[in-house]
Amino acid sequence: MKDHYREYLNKDFETRCNKNSRYTLRAYAQFLDLDSGTLSQILSGKRKLPKTHWVTTTQKLKLKPNEKQFFYQSLWDEQGIKAKEEQLSSRSARLLSSENYFEIISEWEFAAALCLFDIKHFSFTVQNITKCLGLTQKRSNEIYAKLFQFGLIEISDGKINRTNQNFESTEDIMSNALQVAHQNELNLAIEKLKTISLLEREFTSLTFAGSSKDIKKMKLWIRSKRQEFERLFESKKADQVFQFAVQVFPLSNKV
């Protein structure tokens, strides 16, 4: 079961090549919104399919319900994630083709709060959210209530847990929520630039002459590096929540 999704991708790629002798790995990578080098390593078993691509990949492949179930199960097995059979829709991320999740996507506190579940020994309470993210208690209460409302957290066995529901934004599709989110992130970056020690943050940029024809390649490369960054630094020993956007700085205090 562990390699099922990889076998499916290899088979799908082979089918496409049989239909079109000129079909390339690069074309398949573009179809899946992956870097061709990354996809090559995924197909050969040297890399795992990034979590950020689980939902979009099943959608692009137009998997049937039973195929999707086995596809997700193999992804979970590879990640060492245990799940009940009825929960195999992965953290079934809801793509924001509509503005249903406008508030959740556009305001950084929600994603940051959910990331706190990945910090060992963190107790998810309003008081701890307030302390860790530096929010007012009123705002922490709002975040806490909204996460319940949208089914992203629940009470299980007397504890607050993150559910198997998730959310994910669209790429290359106009979204008012994402526009507001990016504006908020830029404002947040300005604040962090002024208030955080140089030793705890990194802001970097590059000015260069290039071709407008390479925009799509640039976007794919940036997305692949975003995935690589996540693989390198997402930690089981997490003690803080960060935001990465070619600048990196802590969003939370240390736990």
Residue 225 in contact with residue 211, Cβ under 8 Å?
no
Give the residue among 115, 100, 61 at the shortest CA–CA distance from 239: 115
**Amino acid, single-letter form, for residue 96:** L
Residue 119 lies in a domain: no
**pLDDT at residue 216 is higher than 60:** yes
**pLDDT at residue 92 is higher than 70:** no
Confidence at 89, pLDDT banded by 50, 70, 90:
very low
| Distance from C-alpha of 137 to C-alpha of 151, rounded to nearest angstrom | 21
Residue 12 lies in a domain: yes
Task: Encode 200-209: b = buried (16+ Cβ within 10 Å), e = exposed.
Answer: ebeeeeeeee
Q: Tokens for 156, please give them.
A: 């299980």
pTM over 0.85: no
Which of 55, 74, 90 delimits the end of a domain? 90
Q: Which single residue is written with the structure tokens 């240390």?
A: 254
- In DSSP terms, which residues pair with 243 in a beta bridge? 249
Q: Identify the helix (H) or strand (E) that includes residue 146.
A: helix 137-149
Q: Give mean pLDDT, residues 141-159.
A: 85
Residue 105 lies in a domain: no
Q: Which single residue is written with the structure tokens 């899946």?
A: 32
Residue 101 in contact with residue 167, Cβ under 8 Å?
yes
Domain, as residue range, for 85: 4-90
At residue 95, the pLDDT reads 41
Question: For 105-126, how does the pLDDT look when each residue is reduced to its tens digit (9 = 90+)?
Answer: 778 898 899 989 988 888 999 9
Which of 55, 90, 125 delimits the end of a domain? 90
CB atoms closer than 10 angstroms to residue 38: 22
Task: Say which CATH number the domain at 19 has.
Answer: 1.10.260
CB atoms closer than 10 angstroms to residue 243: 18
Residue 132 lies in a domain: no
Residue 240 lies in a domain: yes
Q: What is the DSSP letter of 221?
A: H
Which of 65, 90, 115 delimits the end of a domain? 90
Q: CA angle 23-210-22, nearest 5°? A: 10
Give the rounded distance of the alpha carbon of 235 from its chain centre.
Answer: 14
Residue 141 lies in a domain: no
Please write down the long-range contacts of 139-145, taking CB distance under 8 Å and 24 or more positions apart: 139/109, 143/109, 143/110, 143/113, 144/113
Residue 106 lies in a domain: no
Query: Which carries the bigger pLDDT value, residue 108 or residue 66?
Result: 108
* Average predicted confidence (pLDDT) for the chain: 80
Residue 232 lies in a domain: yes
Q: Give mean pLDDT, residues 32-61.
A: 86
| Distance from C-alpha of 71 to C-alpha of 2, rounded to nearest angstrom | 9
Give all strands (DSSP E) within the chain, no chain letters.
93-95, 153-156, 159-162, 166-168, 202-203, 242-244, 247-250
> How many independent structural domains does the chain possess?
2
Give all strands (DSSP E) within 58-183, no chain letters.
93-95, 153-156, 159-162, 166-168
At residue 167, the pLDDT reads 59
Q: Identify the helix (H) or strand (E) that includes residue 127.
A: helix 126-133
pLDDT cut 90: percent of the chain above it: 21
At residue 13, the pLDDT reads 93
